[in-house]
Structure formats: C-alpha cells, structure tokens
Amino acid sequence: MKRIGVREIANLAGVSPGTVDRALHGRKGITEETRQRILAIAERMGYQPDLAARALSVGRAPVRIGVCIPREIRHYFGPLQEGIEAESRRLERLGVQVQYRPTERLGSDEAARTVELLEAGIDALILTPGDPAALTPVINQAEESGVRVICVDTDAPESRRSSAVCVNAEVCGALAAELLSATLPPESEVAVVTGMMAIEDHRRKSEAFRKGISKDSPVTIVEAHEDEEEAFQKVFALLSERSDIAGLYVGTVNCLPVLRAVCARGLSGKIRVITTDLFDAMAGYFDRGTIFASIHGRPFAQGEIAMRLAVDHIVNGTPLPRSYDLLPHIVMRSNLLLFREMRKTAAPTLAQALDTGEE
C-alpha cells in the first residue's frame, strides 16, 4: 500500500502535478474552485508530502526555525541555548535549518531581532519574551502570517503565541515547601528570599511556597531585587534578628550572597536551605551541606523541548499544546554529579553520564 503523491492527486483531479502543487501551497495562479477540488481530494486520500523529495527539490531544508534568546545571564541562558542547539544539530541533517538572532540580555532589542528573523523567512519562531507587552504585536503579526511562535522560559500570555515551554512556578514553590515541611519540626520559622515580587515568576513561587508550608509556620518574605549586596545584607540581618529561623527558600538564581550570609552567621548545615536552578559555583555549598536541595528549572531541557515541539508541529502536524509545563528537577547531594552543570567538576566516571532533555 503505497503512499499517495502529487501525481496521483493530479490524475484523480484531472489536472497536472503543477496545479496540485499550486493548490496545496496556496500559491497564486489557480482558481479558487479547482483549488478546493484538489484540496478535497488530497484530504480524502490522506495525502502526506514526502519531505525528502521536497527538500531535494527546493534545495534547502524544508523547515526553518528562528531562534531569539538572550546571551546573558550565561548561567541560565547558556544551557537554554545549548539545549536548542543540541536538538537542532540532530535535526539539521534530517532537513531542519535553524537561524539564530540572539539578544544581548533578556528584553534588549528583542523586537528588532525577531523582525529580522521573520523577514529572513521562517516557519516557526522560538523566543524568550523579556518584555511581553512590547513584543506582543510582533508575535501576533508572526502568527497571522503563519509563523508559529513558541515562547520559552518566560511567557507572553496576552499574545497569540502558539505555545509556551516553562517550568511551573507553583510546582517549584510547592516542592520547596514540601521538602522543608518534611524536614523541619512542625511550627518552625521559615523565610523565602526572592528577587522582586513584581516579577510574575517570583511572585508565583513565593505564593506557592507560603501555601505549601503548614499554617502554623510563620513565613518571612525577603525581597532582594537581584542585588548581591542587598541580598547578603538583608539575609544576614534576618538571621541575626531571628535566631529561630530553621529553613530558607531562595526562589531566584541569585543564591550565592544568601549562602555567604548563612555561612557568615555560622549556620551552614544548621538551617535547611533550598535554592533555585544550578550552576557550578554551587557545588561547594552542596558538599558542605549548606544547600540541602535545589529546585532546578532545567533550561537545557526547555531548549530541547521547544525545538522539538516546533519541528514536530511543522513536520508531523502535531498540535502545539497551549502551554507545556516542565517538571523541575530536585538536585541533592546524591544526584548532583549527574547534572550537566556539574560536568566540569564531576569525577571522571560519572562525567560520562549526560542526561539531558525532558520528562
């Protein structure tokens, strides 16, 4: 049972393959009537284009993906980009072409880069909308011209983007709470250190954390505005004033000053600290027991998945999920060395382990 091609459709419709091509691709130079007739036949026969043949014919990859993500902060967006690249490297020999237009940092120059990509001609666009409001018109325009937009890491929920690949902030906060609750005596005092409550992601994490902590435990919230010095000072002061604090949840990637404050107060290993994400400088704090666990947002996996969703949609017509929530990983001493972020410092035997992508 052979698959059907343009030739067969042409015969059935009593036209030439050229006309079928015009109908299938919405090209001009064909009456609406014949187009509908051909489309109907193609539909009925379950026509599936042969991608290999198409690639060969057009002389370029049959699917082109544009990518616009920030270069900084390296800790976080580095792995995100690596994930995207890893996935596209596999795919490109199979006929997928990727175009990069990185921005310097989150939110800078996004719109311009994005427009460049659209003008270069792409079938889908992967991007981190740092300034969702500003980007929404561009996103909507892209979607209207048939370019599927997939947000990654941060979302632009007001736009008409096709999909968003993110870790679920509520789950992160709730996990931190569950780990602390189970670990500390009931009614222990805990605190959460966050960046800015104005940032959606930070607010949701903190909120979920508070909800997850048993009602008897008081929760102090420290807003450090992503500033190193401020974070250190505030946490140091907090730990001095409130000697009964037993647990700490750092909901932002900016955990180093917090850890320094904990150590400076001589509380390393005495109070349970849960951090966010993972980078090599954190390794030492795991070893010394300063960090009990980290809730890892898996930027690498996010990159891989975004790329896969895009290609899978274009090639196979798989519907894009409105949003795709990743499971955060829980990093502890026992599994630390299996994370790619620790590859450099890892022992040689475990260094070969290279778990990446999803689930």
Partner DNA sequence: CTGAAAGCGCTAACAA
Partner DNA sequence: TTGTTAGCGCTTTCAG
When CB distances are held under 5 to 8 angstroms depending on the partner's kind, the choice from a second copy, DNA, none that residue 22 binds is DNA
93 binds DNA (CB under 7 A): no
* Secondary structure E strands in the chain: 63-68, 70-72, 96-100, 103-105, 124-127, 148-152, 163-167, 189-194, 219-223, 245-250, 272-276, 291-296, 324-326, 329-331
Determine which residue in the list 16, 31, 48, 214 makes contact with a second copy, applying CB under 8 A.
48
Tokens of 350: 């475990």
Instruction: Find the part of the chain contacting a second copy (CB under 8 A) among 12-20, 44-52, 213-221, 253-261.
Output: 44-52
Among 11, 26, 44, 56, binds DNA (CB under 7 A): 56
Nearer CB in complex with a second copy: 87/110: 87
- Max Cα–Cα distance, the chain, nearest Å: 86
Half-sphere exposure of 229 (CA within 13 A, CB side): 0
What would the DSSP string read from start to end of 240-274?
HH-TTEEEEEE-SS--HHHHHHHHHTT-BTTBEEE
CB within 8 Å of 316: residues ≥ 6 apart = none
Residue 354 binds which entry of a second copy, DNA, none, CB below 5-8 Å type-dependent: a second copy
Using CB under 7 A as the binding rule, whether residue 17 contacts DNA is answered as yes
| Helix H or strand E segment including 307 | helix 299-316
| Binds DNA (CB under 7 A): choice among 11, 26, 36, 53 | 53
265 binds DNA (CB under 7 A): no
Q: Which stretch binds DNA (CB under 7 A): 22-30, 127-135, 214-222, 232-240?
A: 22-30
Do 246 and 215 form a contact (C-beta atoms < 8 A)?
Answer: no
Q: Does 16 bind a second copy (CB under 8 A)?
A: no
Q: If you search the block for the tokens 């005495």, which residue do you land on?
A: 270
What does the binding site for DNA look like in residue numbers (CB under 7 A)?
2-3, 5-7, 14-19, 21-22, 24-25, 28-31, 34, 47, 49-50, 53-54, 56-59
The contact set with a second copy (CB under 8 A) reads: 48, 50-53, 55-56, 89-91, 93-95, 168, 171, 174-175, 177-179, 182-183, 212, 272, 292, 298, 300-301, 304-305, 308, 311-312, 315-316, 318, 321-330, 332-335, 338-340, 350, 352-359
